[in-house]
């Protein structure tokens, strides 16, 4: 199973989702990319993922252009901008999904406010990508949560 997680900067949300999916199943081929990749993975994302036991410090932002000719089982956008500007893939894309997450790197305020934004994004990504993994990859039916009704 080959999965691409796409966002704008590929520095935060897509990197965290990449880390979680890979931790759920080492047999998945998980990649992440950005429509306008940043210079590096956001240090706050690296920090909060390490606290969850997942090391993404070796990840590097990648331009989605390097992924366009490949075949993907899933291309998942995690931000509205990437969803709206998702490029045309010349390789086959079997499924396109959007799992939108607010960008914690846009939060301003005290260091604790920023840290909490990254923790909230991390926890939401874990929950939503766990659900994706269980339902889409493993094919399990889960009860719908109240927030989806």
CATH label of the domain that carries residue 142 = 3.40.50.2300
Number of other CB atoms surrounding residue 102 within 10 Å: 15
Q: Of residues 12, 79, 145, 147, which has the active-site annotation?
A: 79
| 136: exposed, middle or buried (Cβ count in 10 Å: 0-12, 13-18, 19+) | middle
Indicate the pLDDT class of residue 37, thresholds 50, 70 and 90: very high
12 flagged as catalytic: no
Q: What pLDDT is recorded for position 149?
A: 46
- Does residue 15 have a pLDDT over 80? yes
User: Quick one: average pLDDT of 7-34?
Assistant: 96
Average pLDDT over residues 50-64: 97
Least confident interval from 13-22, 50-59, 72-81, 97-106: 72-81
Domain coverage including residue 133: 2-148
3-state secondary structure at position 32:
strand
Active site annotation includes 79: yes
How many domains is the chain partitioned into structurally?
1
Catalytic residue among 12, 86, 145, 147: 86
Per-residue pLDDT of 99-121, as tens digits, reads: 999 999 999 999 999 999 999 99
pLDDT band of residue 80 (cuts 50, 70, 90) is: confident
To the query of whether residue 7 is one of the catalytic residues in this protein, the response is yes
């Amino acid at each position: 199973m080959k999965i691409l997680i796409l966002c704008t900067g590929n520095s935060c949300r897509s990197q965290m989702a990449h880390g979680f999916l890979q931790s759920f199943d080492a047999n998945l081929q998980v990649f992440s990319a950005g429509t306008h990749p940043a210079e590096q993975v956001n240090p706050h994302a690296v920090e909060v993922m390490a606290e969850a036991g997942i090391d993404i410090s070796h990840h590097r932002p990648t331009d989605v252009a390097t992924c366009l000719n490949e075949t993907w089982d899933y291309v998942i956008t995690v931000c509205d901008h990437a969803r709206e500007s998702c490029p045309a893939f010349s390789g086959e894309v079997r499924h396109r999904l959007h799992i939108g997450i607010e960008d914690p790197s846009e939060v301003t305020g005290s260091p604790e406010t920023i840290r909490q934004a990254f923790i909230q994004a991390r926890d939401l990504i874990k929950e939503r990508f766990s659900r994706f993994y269980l339902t889409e990859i493993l094919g399990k039916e889960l009860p719908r949560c109240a927030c989806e009704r």
